[in-house]
Amino acid sequence: MFAESSSLAQLLVCCTQTVQRPLPVSRFVPVDGKQTAFATEKEAVVLHQHKPLSGVATSPRSFARWSGKIRIITGIVALLIIGLIVGLAVGLTKYNPHSNIHPQNNTSTSASASGTSSTSSTTATSTAQGIRSDSSIAAILYSASQAPPTADNIYVFYQDTNGYIKETSRSSSSPDNWAAPIALVKAKAKTPLAAAIWGTFSQRSFFYLDANNVLCEYFWDQVWGPRNITQPPITVHPMSQLAVYLGELYPELPQLLLYQDTSGSLAFLSWNNNSNSWQTGSFGQSLDSLVGTGISITPYETSETAATQLQLFYQKSSMSLSIRTWNTGVWGSNDTNLELIPATVPLASSFYFSGSGNPVINVMYPSILEHVIVDYQVPADGWNTGGEVSVTINTNSSIGLITSQRFYALVGNEIEEYSQQANGSFTLTSIITTNF
């Protein structure tokens, strides 16, 4: 009996061997043909199959004598095998290769890390719901001078499978220390999302659509709560995407909220500081926008003193990615057309100064293969197709891009963070597991 148990234990040890295998994560392919590869490793548990152990034969003379005992022993061994297999299966099911990424896995910690307090109007979490497979992603960044001393400075928003918008956050100095997400407000299924910081830069807002396609804002200013955008409320096109700029980094620029109205025309609201309210703005002419176009807006300046421009990215009915510029108070009358892109793909853009002091704009969108395409502009040679980050994001999802050349993309049920390196390539730097 002891010999049989020992053999069984050895078999089960063999069945639980683990192996490590490299998984390709990001490969930036510039247009000039040079390739810079990046990789990370994830553990994979592989169950090795073995042939069953051979049975033990008994002689005909001893069969009658031992048959009863054999049946008892066989039954005991079978029960032991079943119990150990069930235990092994449960252990493998609970195994999570990213479990060390989320030490802050409780409601009180996440509330503290996200800047919420015990007086917040939103303290509940929905820990059992993962992310929608087609969720939009929005992300914001406080610079070191803007963030409160004890607060996280990177915030990512997404929608869970119950329809709630969730926020998770971390400090830029702790890439793997994401707070447990907070469920904030219920929205339309597959709502577009846009987020920004404002005011003294400790405040933040995200914009979304409710079940009736009404444009909504939810904001943080010591506590979370809703805020009416206009009275009466604005109903937008069911396929409308959203973009917002609230003056972060360049408060001299206008604060704009962009969407498509019920007719499918590109429209925007402009914040009026005198009346402390949103007012309907005008491009001066109707823009030829594709219904469901991606929308993104970013500031732009040619020197590190003051910004004078906003660059609006959208898709025309001809399928071309186009730019309309706001310059010193006036929208331009002509567009810059870049290239043909897949219909209604989400757009993300950011502005920064390179190490050599050149102003650079990145604009990103998913390719037809759901890879992330990066275009960029520098004053010396205009717009360039920078290449692609060959991470395959979820179909119909979006990209959250923040100004430090970092973007967030939905891959499976995880949000992956990619950061731009000194050579211009992007590599995986953090993972947010959303199945809390």
The model's pLDDT over 70-82, given as tens digits with 9 standing for 90+, comes to: 555 566 656 666 6
The rounded radius of gyration (Å) of the Cα atoms in the chain is 27
How many residues are there in the chain? 436
Q: Using CA atoms, how far apart are residues 92 and 208, in angstroms rounded to an integer?
A: 38
- Of 15-29, 191-205, 313-327, 408-422, least confident by mean pLDDT is 15-29
In whole numbers, what is the pLDDT of the chain averaged over residues? 74
Among the ranges given (127-131, 280-284, 398-402), the one the predictor scored with the smallest mean pLDDT = 127-131
Average pLDDT over residues 46-60: 30
Neighbours of 135 (CB within 10 A): 27
b/e sequence 168-184, b meaning 16+ C-beta within 10 Å = bbbbeeeeebbbbbbbb
Q: Can you tell me the distance from the alpha carbon of 294 to that of 107, in angstroms, rounded to the nearest whole number? A: 34
Phi/psi-derived region of residue 122, left when phi > 0, alpha when psi is between -120 and 50, beta in every other case = beta
Pairwise CA distance, residues 364 & 402, whole Å: 11
Highest mean pLDDT among 84-88, 367-371, 379-383: 367-371
Per DSSP, the residues of 70-89 read: HHHHHHHHHHHHHHHHHHHH
Return the pLDDT at 1: 45
Kindly tell me if the per-residue pLDDT of 18 is higher than 90. Answer: no
Res 354 pLDDT > 50: yes
- Element (DSSP H or E) covering residue 294: none
Could you tell me which of 144, 148, 110, 27 has the C-alpha nearest to residue 434?
Answer: 110
Could you give the 3-state DSSP secondary structure of residue 346? coil
- The pLDDT, as a whole number, for residue 93 is 36
Query: What one-character-per-residue DSSP string does 25-65 give?
Result: EEEEE-TTS--EEEEEEEEEE-----PPPPPPP--HHHHHH
Q: Which pLDDT value is given to residue 384?
A: 81
* Bridge partners of residue 266, in order along the sequence: 260
Q: How confident is the model at residue 351 (pLDDT cuts 50, 70, 90)?
A: confident
Q: What per-residue confidence (pLDDT) applies to 272?
A: 92
Domains of the chain, first to last: 2-25+43-94 (no CATH), 103-433 (2.120.10.70)
Please tell me the least confidently modeled range out of 83-87, 207-211, 274-278: 83-87
pTM for the model stands at: 0.70
The predicted-structure confidence for 95-121, as pLDDT tens digits, reads as follows 332 222 222 222 332 333 333 332 334
321 pLDDT band, cuts 50/70/90, is: very high
